[in-house]
Structure 1
Amino acid sequence: MTDTLVTASETSGISQERRIVTAIPGPKSHALTERRLAVVPVGVSSALPVFIERAHGAIVVDVDGNQFIDLGAGIGVMTIGHTDEAVVAAATAQLGEFTHVMFTITPYEGYVRVAELLAQHTPGDFPKKTVLLNSGAEAVENAVKIARKYTGRTGVAVLDHAYHGRTNLTMAMTYKSMPYKLGFGPFASDVHHAPNSYPFRDGLSGADSAARTIAYLEKAVGASDLACLVVEPIQGEGGFVVPAEGYLPALQEWCAANGVVFIADEIQSGMARTGVYFASEHFGIVPDLVLSAKGIAGGLPIAGVTGRAEIMDASHPGGLGGTFAGNPVAAAAAVAVFESIESRGLLAEGARIERLLKPALLALQQKYEVIGDVRGIGAMLAIELVQPGTLEPNPAAVTVITAYAARHGVLLLNAGTWGNVIRFLPSLAISDALLTEALGVLDEALATL
Structure 2
Amino acid sequence: MIRFILAAITAVFLLTPAHAVEIKEVTSPGGIKAWLVEEPSIPFTALEISFKGGASLDREGKRGAINLMTALLEEGAGDMNATAFAAAREELAASYSFDTGDDSISISAQFLTENRDKAVDLLRLALMEPLFDQDAIERVRSQLLSIIGSDMKDPNKIAVKTFDKLAFGDHPYGSNLNGTLDSVKGLTREDIQAAYKDTLARDRIYVGAVGDINEQELGQLLDHLLGDLSAEGAPLPDRADYLLSGGETVVPYDTPQSVAIFGHEGMTRDDPDFFAAYVLNEVLGASGLGSRLMEEVREKRGLTYGVYSYLLPLDNAELVMGQVASSNDRIAQAIEVIRAEWSKMATEGVTEDELRDAKTYLTGAYPLRFDGNSTIAGILVGMQMDDLPTSYIETRNAKVEAVTQDDIKRVAARLLQPDNLHFVVVGQPEGLQTSN
Q: Kindly indicate which of the two structures has a greater share of residues assigned to helix.
A: 2
Same fold at TM > 0.5 = no
Pairwise TM-score range, normalised by the shorter structure: under 0.3
